[in-house]
Amino acid sequence: MERKKLYRSEKNKIISGIFGGVGEYFDIDPSLLRLFWVLVVVFTGLFPGIIAYATAVAVVPKKAHKLE
C-alpha cells in the first residue's frame, strides 16, 4: 500500500497549488477550501492568513515529476 503524501498541485493551482494539493490529499474540492480560507482570513485578520499561507508554500514541496 502506497502512503499518501501532501504535495502542492501542479494541475489545480491558482497561486501556488497549496489548496489544490490539500484537496487532492483529502479528496475535497479545492474551491471549497479556497472559499473557507477567504472567510477565515476575512474574519480573523489578513496578516495571520498571509503568514500561514506563506509558511505552507515554504513547507509543502512540489510534486517531483517521474522520469519515463
Q: What is the pLDDT of residues 31-63, one digit of tens each?
A: 999 999 999 899 988 888 889 999 999 999 987
Closest CA to 63 of 1, 13, 21: 21
**What does pTM read for this prediction?**
0.81
CA-atom Rg of the chain in angstroms: 13
Give the tens place of pLDDT for each residue, 13-25.
Answer: 888 999 999 999 9
Q: How many residues does the chain have?
A: 68
Question: CA–CA distance from 7 to each of 34, 45, 46, 50, 52 (Å)?
Answer: 16, 26, 25, 19, 16
Write down the H helix ranges in the chain. Answer: 18-26, 30-44, 46-59
